[in-house]
Structure 1
Amino acid sequence: MCLLAGVHARMPVARRGRLPQGLSVRFLTCALLFVLFVPDWSGPARITLLGPDPAFTVEPVALDPAHPARKRVGDLVYLGGVQLRSDDPQFGGFSSLAIAGDRFTLLSDSGDIVRFVLDRRWKVHDRTYAELPDGPGTGWEKRDRDSESMSVDRHTGAIWVGFENSNALWRYDPTFTRAQAHVVPPVMKNWPENKGPEAMTLLPGGGMVSIAEQTPWPGRKGRAGVVFSGDPTRHPRAGFRFDYVPPKGYSPSDMTVLPDGRWLILNRGFAWFRFSNVLTIVDPAQVRRGATVHGSDIATLASPLTHDNFEGVTATQEGRATMLWLVSDDNQLPVQRSLLLKFRLDPVARGDRN
């Protein structure tokens, strides 16, 4: 940066409108550097956050580091997990994930896309990196690409992303290279900044559901939820409101639909400088216009178990078994981790949970 403040007070009087000798050279040099290195803010380009090849490694993690043989937590059986590590300081911040077979897509809250193949031995292959091709704002600041939720249309392959700061929903093509449509639904327009559509998922019968992270409807308790009966970009006013009441001390951070149609909501808490998460199942039959909805808590990830800022959840099916995958947002801080964990949904009698 060229620090020109105070130069005018010290510079001698120029003759015939010319800059004093020496200063003119510095001025022209600064002007040239400005043109070369200060980007054009009027265009759609955005600052690259990930390097050209932010290679990462994976290291296995146990559910309970003190008791590695432990596999069960509530209604879940732990099948394995890894910590993702990279020397690139911008790697991480993962807030949502999508899985198709052995192909994984992780989306960060800065709009970075990390794709890879994960085999049954927890080995990573075919890493690729990209950025959201478009989104709210100019993309110059992280808040413009605060992409907190993602869901894939199983019929068209289109990818939906929820942006928390702008309370916007964007639809991208199946290759994540082009934005197809976007909307700021009127029902979500006044949700506070940084408390918007943290949880969002497409519904099997069509439509979408989104839940605000910390915002209730006026005069209501719980968190603001909205169900769209179709594509919000075509019918932004369609649907209805409801209230979701998370476990005490928690807020919804993501959601997905289980193979049987029930909703699984990932709730996050932060207390005593530690994160924890509660997984809750909601029967969609309870979700009606104006309803206050409580779910059934099925598992809690908290100390001494492996825990972090889990913000992404998705469900897959292997045979008749339902698998749940969680990814954590490390906020790109050295004291946190990017974790990818896998569980099998295996309900037990309430008295047998531990």
Structure 2
Amino acid sequence: MSSRLALVALLAALAPVPLAFRAAGGSPVARVVPLDARDPARRDVGRLHYLGGWRLTGRDRRFGGISSMTIEDGAFTLLSDTGVVTRLRLARDGTVTDYAIHALPNGPGAAWRKINRDSESSTYDPASGHVWAGFETRNEIWRYTKGFAAADGHVAPAAMAGWPDNEGAEAMVRLRDGRFLVFAETKQRPDHGGHLVLMFPGDPVAGAVPFEFGFHGPYGYAPTDAAELPDGRVIVLMRRFSPGRGLLAGALGFSGALIVIDPREARPDGTVAVDQVAEFAPPLTVDNMEALAVERRDGRTILWIASDDNFFVLQRTLLLAFALDGDVRRRVPDRTASRAAP
């Protein structure tokens, strides 16, 4: 494949479509998508069972760019990487209801500059209703009242000060015991390699000071979101972008993976083990997978995964649901000794 084609794939995946190409107003429309378009009857991938999926399209120019999400009582709160909050419910027949969309009420810098409001991660406390958002480039964490109604504190943690632009707090999760995990997108641990994670003993905005630990995920993947499972472990959504492979497969080059780590194993400067759950690559339905939420329903653990369409016409906003069934104890090979491509 020529370097020109690789560049075209890169631009297609990353360049935003002009906002003028989208009309304002109107709830999104959900259209059913299969797990595998070549085999519509397929329902399983790795240790997941496919419950259903939808492609969401909307005329509102603000809708899209989904980078994180939470779900509570069946209602989704989606945060985009342009500082826009979307709320909606999705009925079993795919009907979108209770749709609302608005910009974050406050945040770092001027709201009209994406470099200031590149909100890539979010997490919330169901008891207080507080929501936290992580901003790349500015390397800040902001806390908001319930529903992102108003900002009530923020911090620029010293441990995140040197994180590269556009590679900052890509994933964040508040654990039920009050600790926080913040995942760097691509920054590696300088001494031990692997993905860098900060463990805050409490609310970062309240001044909690973190320690670093890490993990070694599947080759070529970077973390994009995370959520706590009912048993206290954390499931991490990861993404890989390979334009060459994508063009050969008739896709844009995205694939996704889900792994599980146990924060109870985290120690300063240590490395935790990884259990791989599933990998998503063409011909499976996949895009720029960036958002993850966990829901407990009818005795089952349901994973919701959403994609960031980068406001680009060739990409999609997907919302996929899976049941996590059975044991996920399959270790990812340790690649600390060699990082050669498989």
TM range (shorter): 0.7 to 0.9
Instruction: Work out the CA distance in 1 between the residues paired with 2:329 and 2:163.
Output: 37
> Aligned pair in 2 of structure 1 residues 110, 349: CA closer, same or farther (>3 Å)?
closer
Structure of higher CA gyration radius: 1
> Which ranges of structure 1 fall in alignment gaps of 5 or more residues?
1-46
Instruction: Work out the CA distance in 2 between the residues paired with 1:312 and 1:349.
Output: 20
Partner in structure 2 of residue 30 of structure 1: none
Offset of 1:224 from its aligned partner? 1.6
TM-score, length-scaled by structure 1: 0.82
Residue identity matched to 1:243:
G
User: Does residue 287 of the first structure (1) align with residue 266 of the second (2)?
Assistant: yes
Q: How does 1:144-293 map to 2 (within 5 A)?
A: 144-236=116-208, 238-271=209-242, 272=244, 273=246, 274-293=253-272
User: Does residue 298 of the first structure (1) align with residue 313 of the second (2)?
Assistant: no
Q: Structure 1 stretch 305-314 or stretch 50-59: which is displaced more?
A: 50-59
- Over the aligned positions, Cα root-mean-square deviation in angstroms equals 2.0
Partner in structure 2 of residue 338 of structure 1: 317
**Residue 314 (structure 1) aligned to one of 275, 293, 301:** 293
Q: Structure 1 stretch 171-180 or stretch 323-332: which is displaced more?
A: 171-180
Residue identity matched to 1:75:
R
Offset of 1:348 from its aligned partner? 5.9
TM-score, length-scaled by structure 2: 0.85
Where 1:187 maps in the other structure, the secondary structure is helix
Partner deviation per Cα, 1:291-349 (whole Å, 9 max, x = no partner): 12231111011111101000000101013210000010010111110000000001368
8 Å Cα contact 1:50-1:112 kept in structure 2: no
Residue identity matched to 2:175:
L
Offset of 1:116 from its aligned partner? 1.2
> Aligned pair in 2 of structure 1 residues 51, 233: CA closer, same or farther (>3 Å)?
farther
8 Å Cα contact 2:183-2:196 kept in structure 1: yes
8 Å Cα contact 1:286-1:293 kept in structure 2: yes
Partner in structure 1 of residue 3 of structure 2: none
Partner in structure 1 of residue 335 of structure 2: none
Instruction: Work out the CA distance in 1 between the residues paired with 2:144 and 2:283.
Output: 40
Calculate percent identity across the aligned residue pairs. 41
Residue correspondences, number: 304
* Larger relative contact order (Cα-Cα within 8 Å, sequence gap ≥ 6): 2
Offset of 1:122 from its aligned partner? 2.4
8 Å Cα contact 1:263-1:284 kept in structure 2: yes
